[in-house]
A = this chain, B = another copy of it.
């Protein structure tokens, strides 16, 4: 062990050696505590390769580390031999920017908000947008194929990537950074690495697809009485506004009550708090009129009895306020402390059925508060189970697995996924075994064994070690 520390210190410049402090070992919600043999932050692909060669040779586990914002324990190991944490934080350069083609090559340690800023300075956007963008780093976002609020329009993280540079377990550097639109020369290693959660290789850089910045944007919050009405509103919005819909979010009453409970500073437009609200965000090209389109949508939906109240943002500041409200819901959840959180997806049309049936399944375990919100346009809900007032998460520790099982069984019955956008990490390894396609698992295990025969890359994540 010390031998490895000595060898790491010999391989790397002093700036690459880090203290194994809490920043690398604590789960963002404080749920788990990781272990580390060492934390290293290489400054180049060659240094990443050197670290991996050493760890592969010595059979030392390596956890590739981004911003540490993951919610499924993919970035920290409680069990097993302490791993080397390989942080990409020092590799955050924008290697190139093609302002004409709308592509950029960025290193994996770049923080998402910084990537946004670089793209916007040139009149483009990189549309991956999620609550943790101020700290999440590109490598982790790609390793987990992150989703977020704009998937309905722009796709998941993988859809925004033209190529990657990565280092395999044995130190082999794979470079597919070419930003060509068409390149059919061999297997798509890019998509294999994206979403593999650091278990097949360490992504060190990526070519990103940028999109024209919408010239005109708008947003509205519309009150609907039920998930069925929300679904009908989504259909109506798609028919009227089509591809210009950048996000279609659903928020349930419990979330608004949580905001009142933990952070009365969040301004809420509706009083009393409504059962369900849809947040519709629209971006259009020059000459487009998002607010006009949202007003027309509201009028038609009101006429049809789908919506009972609504606010259309009158300024960019008000639009930002709507989004702050939306982003404050997960923050409030964190303060209250969920018994169990579920990042699930079902076919969009099945969302009302999921929302209708889940409470009874969970109710078999006792009384809980349910906060349901998420990316309705993609069929992706964050369905979180909270203790009743006066109780705490710890009071329900022995029920957690039964609750998860109840929710995931229902998801499976509806043809959904038990991990829509957060990944498998260590938290859902059992779920993958239970609900995953057996043939896919066979293929996954064969690929893992081929690319990481000693099992050093993020051991215990995704697949049992």
Q: Which residues of B contact A190 (CB under 8 A)?
A: 191
Is A184 a contact of B417 with CB atoms below 8 Å? yes
State whether the Cβ of A80 lies closer than 8 Å to any Cβ in chain B: no
Which listed residue, B174, B186, B194, B345, touches A183 by the CB 8 Å rule?
A: B345
Closest residue of chain B to A446 (Cβ to Cβ) is: B450
State whether the Cβ of A320 lies closer than 8 Å to any Cβ in chain B: no
Which listed residue, B168, B181, B436, B449, touches A450 by the CB 8 Å rule?
A: B449
Question: How distant is the Cα of A450 from the Cα of B175 in the complex, in angstroms?
Answer: 21
Q: Among the listed stretches A59-67, A108-116, A127-135, A420-428, which one makes contact with chain B, having 4 or more residues with CB under 8 Å of it?
A: A420-428
State whether the Cβ of A100 lies closer than 8 Å to any Cβ in chain B: yes
Which listed residue, B181, B189, B349, touches A444 by the CB 8 Å rule?
A: B189
A403 to chain B, nearest CB (A): 19
* Copies in the assembly, this chain: 2
Question: How distant is the Cα of A400 from the Cα of B333 in the complex, in angstroms?
Answer: 67
Is B192 a contact of A440 with CB atoms below 8 Å? no
Given A191-B192, A285-B242, verify A439-B168 contact (CB < 8 Å): yes
Question: How distant is the Cα of A182 from the Cα of B151 in the complex, in angstroms?
Answer: 9
Is A186 a contact of B447 with CB atoms below 8 Å? no
State whether the Cβ of A451 lies closer than 8 Å to any Cβ in chain B: yes
Q: Among the listed stretches A216-224, A250-258, A375-383, which one makes contact with chain B, having 4 or more residues with CB under 8 Å of it?
A: A375-383
Which listed residue, B172, B183, B192, B431, touches A187 by the CB 8 Å rule?
A: B192
Is B443 a contact of A187 with CB atoms below 8 Å? yes
A280 to chain B, nearest CB (A): 17
Q: Which residues of B contact A176 (CB under 8 A)?
A: 437, 440
Q: Which residues of B contact A442 (CB under 8 A)?
A: 168, 172, 174
Is A181 a contact of B151 with CB atoms below 8 Å? yes
State whether the Cβ of A291 lies closer than 8 Å to any Cβ in chain B: no
Question: How distant is the Cα of A419 from the Cα of B184 in the complex, in angstroms?
Answer: 5
State whether the Cβ of A87 lies closer than 8 Å to any Cβ in chain B: no
Report which A residues bind B (CB closer than 8 A): 98, 100-101, 144-145, 147, 151-152, 156, 158-159, 168, 172-176, 178-192, 194-196, 200-201, 212, 235, 242-243, 285, 345-349, 375, 378-380, 415-424, 428, 431-432, 435-437, 439-444, 446-447, 449-451, 462
A345 to chain B, nearest CB (A): 5
Is B188 a contact of A195 with CB atoms below 8 Å? yes
Is B184 a contact of A421 with CB atoms below 8 Å? yes
A396 to chain B, nearest CB (A): 25
Is A189 a contact of B443 with CB atoms below 8 Å? yes
Which listed residue, B242, B347, B462, touches A186 by the CB 8 Å rule?
A: B462
| 12 more CB-based (< 8 A) A-B contacts, given A187-B440, A191-B191, A192-B447 | A174-B442, A175-B440, A180-B420, A181-B345, A181-B380, A182-B375, A182-B378, A184-B419, A187-B444, A188-B195, A189-B440, A449-B450
Is A182 a contact of B147 with CB atoms below 8 Å? yes
A333 to chain B, nearest CB (A): 19
Given A182-B417, A243-B243, verify A447-B451 contact (CB < 8 Å): yes
Given A191-B191, A450-B447, A451-B446, verify A428-B101 contact (CB < 8 Å): no
Q: List 29 A–B pairs whose Cβ atoms lie within 8 Å, in order of A's numbering.
A: A98-B347, A145-B184, A147-B182, A152-B181, A156-B181, A168-B439, A168-B443, A172-B443, A174-B439, A174-B443, A176-B437, A180-B345, A180-B415, A180-B416, A181-B348, A181-B379, A184-B417, A184-B420, A185-B428, A185-B435, A186-B436, A186-B441, A187-B444, A188-B192, A190-B191, A192-B192, A201-B443, A212-B242, A449-B450
Closest residue of chain B to A179 (Cβ to Cβ) is: B347
Is B180 a contact of A437 with CB atoms below 8 Å? no
Given A183-B345, A417-B178, verify A188-B156 contact (CB < 8 Å): no
A108 to chain B, nearest CB (A): 16
Question: How distant is the Cα of A350 from the Cα of B359 in the complex, in angstroms?
Answer: 58
Is B184 a contact of A195 with CB atoms below 8 Å? yes
Q: Which residues of B contact A450 (CB under 8 A)?
A: 446-447, 449-450
A168 to chain B, nearest CB (A): 6
